[in-house]
């Protein structure tokens, strides 16, 4: 279990948030939303060990993650293009994390032909799938998905979240989904949606059925894909 | 033909020109070095396309000898200088402590007057080709090191660097595989800018008597000599060596920009 105790963080002496305490269970998806500038991304980065908190501690199964090896919490950037070396081809980008499982390559619909391409030669959705695949290849225990589907069309969003939901369950990976889209979080998060404010997190219960979006395999309209909810 | 193929062709052409200049003296032998007082001060004509100088030496052969010498000195001096600059920038990338040391050394070098440092080093080493090369190399790296450090800090802050760290990659791996390849185009441009600079300093040092021996056919020596004869109407003494030096520098620039396009995949497709 990933536990955050009394976390506080900010920049240049200005505190963005404090008193953030929560626990994320393996195999579950937890939603995080909040106003722009509330510190959602900073909180995600603190949990992934990319930003030093001004107070508080993050523990995984009671221990603080050690540096110098593949981190158990992997952070997924909103822009996968920025998170990939522009001089590297997809083959090298994936290989940096290790050898991806053949099953995952198929599940993410990765074409063998993409391997010889540079990041800017793939679309946003394709690149985000590569980014997730790379993070999963590092065998993480938890993923921080920071607005990973924000720039994508509803069908691509649904496809990615459906896959992540399945993988979270099968590989027992806990996911913190950060988004402005409360409706999306209500659909995908089985551990509830939390709102980040200056004084910590406030839990919101989802109004509708909590579940994973159906990726619309029959190719129905994007709108209908966004509405369909299935079990968590 | 896409950008990459075009860039490759341009690079090959420029490289061929540079190699041809480097190999020319072997084919020329003593022509252009040995004096021939029967053919003094001849204007450009069929036998001597670039004319002859006050000692009857063919200026075409002499310019080619000079270019080869300049090429050798410029390449070694600028190459050494770029190597020092990359080393100092890499030190900056290793950590805060090493960054402070590298920054202090760079600032200390920048604080010393450029020309004085050149003269002092060359003088201390007793003059000659090796002394000029070492003097230019030691006195020219700090500016490039500054540029490379700025580029390094920018690349080091890129999200893919923190992703690489999160994937368990070491600092040395990140510097070698992520950061240094990004510094290469800057280093290349720095090298190209330093190359003509090195040649000019070689000529300057030679003029002041701390550089190459006046008997060697360096472009700098030729241009200095031409200054004395240009008022007598012997324009070819300055024009042709100068134009050939320009052609050599342009060849380097073409090679540099073509290589930059080749190693920057996105730019090559624009």
Give yes or no for residue A223 having a pLDDT over 50.
no
CB A7 within 8 A of CB A55: yes
Using DSSP's 3-state secondary structure scheme, residue B152 falls into helix
Which residues of chain A are within 8 Å of residue B266 when distances are taken between CB atoms?
A: 86, 118, 120
Closest-CA distance, A118 to chain B, in angstroms, reads 8
Give yes or no for residue A225 having a pLDDT over 60.
no
Q: Does A134 touch chain B (CB under 8 A)?
A: yes
CA nearest A120 in B: which residue? B266
Closest CA to A223 of A161, A164, A153: A153
The pLDDT value recorded for residue A206 is 52
The CATH number for A65's domain is 3.40.50.300
pLDDT, tens digit (0-9, with 9 covering 90-100), for A70-84: 899 999 998 999 999
Closest CA to A84 of B180, B167, B94: B167
Q: Considering the domain boundaries, does residue A52 fall inside one? A: yes
Per the structure, the count of domains in chain A is 1
Cβ contact, residue pair B265, A118, below 8 Å: yes
Which residues of chain B are within 8 Å of residue A68 when distances are taken between CB atoms?
A: 168, 170
Q: Considering the domain boundaries, does residue A166 fall inside one? A: yes
The pLDDT value recorded for residue B254 is 80
CA distance A118 to A115: 8
pLDDT, tens digit (0-9, with 9 covering 90-100), for B153-202: 899 889 999 999 999 998 889 988 999 888 887 888 778 778 777 877 88
Out of B160, B169, B181, the one facing A83 most closely (by C-beta) is B160
Q: Considering the domain boundaries, does residue A47 fall inside one? A: yes
Q: Considering the domain boundaries, does residue A19 fall inside one? A: yes
CB B179 within 8 A of CB B93: yes
CA atoms within 13 A on the CB side of B144: 31
Out of B159, B167, B263, the one facing A70 most closely (by C-beta) is B167
The pLDDT value recorded for residue A214 is 45
pLDDT, tens digit (0-9, with 9 covering 90-100), for B79-88: 999 999 999 9
CA atoms within 13 A on the CB side of B239: 11
Q: Find all residues with CB under 8 Å of A51, minimum gap 6, and list them.
A: A9, A42, A45
pLDDT: which is higher, B71 or B177: B177
Phi, psi dihedrals of residue A112, rounded to the nearest 5°: -60, -25
CA nearest A138 in B: which residue? B167
pLDDT, tens digit (0-9, with 9 covering 90-100), for B195-249: 777 877 887 787 777 777 777 787 777 887 888 888 888 888 888 888 888 888 7
Q: Note down the domain range covering A181.
A: 2-79+140-230
Closest CA to A77 of B182, B158, B189: B158
The pLDDT value recorded for residue A121 is 92
Q: Find all residues with CB under 8 Å of A198, minimum gap 6, and list them.
A: A15, A16, A17, A18, A38
Complex ipTM > 0.90: no
CATH superfamily of B3-21+57-269: MetI-like (1.10.3720.10)
Mean pLDDT of B132-160: 90
Closest CA to B91 of B78, B108, B76, B104: B104
Which residues of chain B are within 8 Å of residue A84 when distances are taken between CB atoms?
A: 160, 163
Chain centre distance of CA B157: 31
Model confidence at B1, pLDDT cuts 50, 70, 90, reads low
- Domain positions in chain B are 3-21+57-269
Cβ contact, residue pair B178, A48, below 8 Å: no
- Burial class from Cβ neighbours inside 10 Å (0-12, 13-18, 19+) for residue B94 reads middle
Model confidence at A95, pLDDT cuts 50, 70, 90, reads very high
CA nearest B265 in A: which residue? A87
Q: Considering the domain boundaries, does residue A116 fall inside one? A: no
Out of B159, B168, B181, the one facing A69 most closely (by C-beta) is B168
Whether the pTM exceeds 0.80: the reply is: no
Query: Angle B236-263/B3-28 helices, nearest 10 degrees?
Result: 140
Give yes or no for residue A87 having a pLDDT over 80.
yes
Pairing of strands A2-11, A55-60: antiparallel
């Amino acid at each position: 279990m990933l536990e955050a105790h009394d976390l506080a963080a900010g920049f240049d002496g200005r505190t963005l948030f404090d008193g953030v305490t929560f626990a994320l269970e393996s195999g579950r998806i937890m939603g995080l939303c909040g106003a722009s500038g509330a510190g959602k991304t900073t909180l995600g980065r603190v949990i992934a060990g990319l930003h030093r908190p001004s107070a508080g501690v993050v523990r995984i199964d009671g221990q603080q993650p050690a540096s110098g090896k593949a981190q158990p919490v992997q952070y997924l950037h909103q822009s996968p293009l920025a998170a990939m070396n522009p001089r590297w081809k997809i083959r090298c980008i994936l290989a940096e994390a290790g050898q991806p499982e053949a099953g995952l390559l198929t599940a993410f619909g990765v074409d063998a032909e993409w391997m010889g391409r540079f990041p800017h030669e793939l679309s946003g959705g394709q690149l985000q799938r590569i980014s997730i695949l790379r993070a999963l290849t590092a065998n993480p225990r938890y993923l921080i998905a920071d607005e990973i589907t924000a720039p994508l069309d509803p069908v691509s969003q649904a496809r990615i979240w459906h896959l992540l939901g399945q993988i979270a369950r099968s590989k027992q990976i806990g996911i913190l989904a950060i988004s402005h889209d409360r409706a999306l979080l209500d659909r995908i998060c089985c551990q509830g949606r939390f709102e980040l404010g200056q004084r910590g997190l406030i839990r919101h219960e989802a109004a509708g059925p909590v579940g994973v979006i159906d990726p619309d395999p029959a190719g129905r309209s994007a709108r209908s894909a966004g509405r369909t909810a299935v079990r968590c | 033909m896409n950008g990459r193929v075009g860039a490759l062709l341009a690079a090959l052409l420029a490289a061929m020109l540079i190699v041809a200049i480097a190999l020319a003296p072997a084919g020329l032998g003593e022509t252009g070095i040995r004096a021939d007082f029967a053919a003094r001060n001849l204007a450009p004509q069929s036998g001597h396309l670039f004319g002859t100088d006050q000692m009857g030496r063919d200026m075409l052969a002499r310019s080619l000898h000079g270019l080869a010498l300049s090429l050798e000195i410029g390449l070694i001096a600028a190459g050494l200088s770029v190597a020092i600059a990359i080393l100092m920038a890499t030190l900056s990338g290793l950590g805060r402590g090493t960054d402070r040391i590298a920054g202090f050394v760079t600032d200390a070098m920048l604080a010393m007057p450029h020309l004085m440092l050149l003269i002092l080093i060359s003088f201390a080493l007793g003059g000659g080709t090796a002394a000029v090369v070492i003097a230019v190399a030691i006195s020219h790296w700090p500016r490039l090191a500054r540029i490379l450090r700025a580029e390094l800090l920018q690349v080091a802050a890129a999200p893919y660097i923190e992703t690489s760290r999160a994937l368990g990659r070491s600092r040395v791996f990140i510097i070698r595989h992520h950061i240094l390849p990004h510094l290469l185009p800057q280093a290349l441009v720095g090298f190209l800018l330093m190359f003509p600079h090195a040649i000019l300093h070689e000529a300057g040092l030679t003029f002041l008597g701390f550089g190459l021996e006046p008997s060697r056919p360096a472009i700098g020596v030729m241009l200095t000599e031409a200054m004395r004869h240009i008022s007598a109407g012997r324009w070819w003494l300055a024009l042709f060596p100068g134009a050939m030096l320009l052609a050599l520098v342009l060849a380097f620039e073409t090679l540099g920009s073509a290589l930059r396009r080749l190693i920057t995949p996105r730019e090559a497709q624009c």
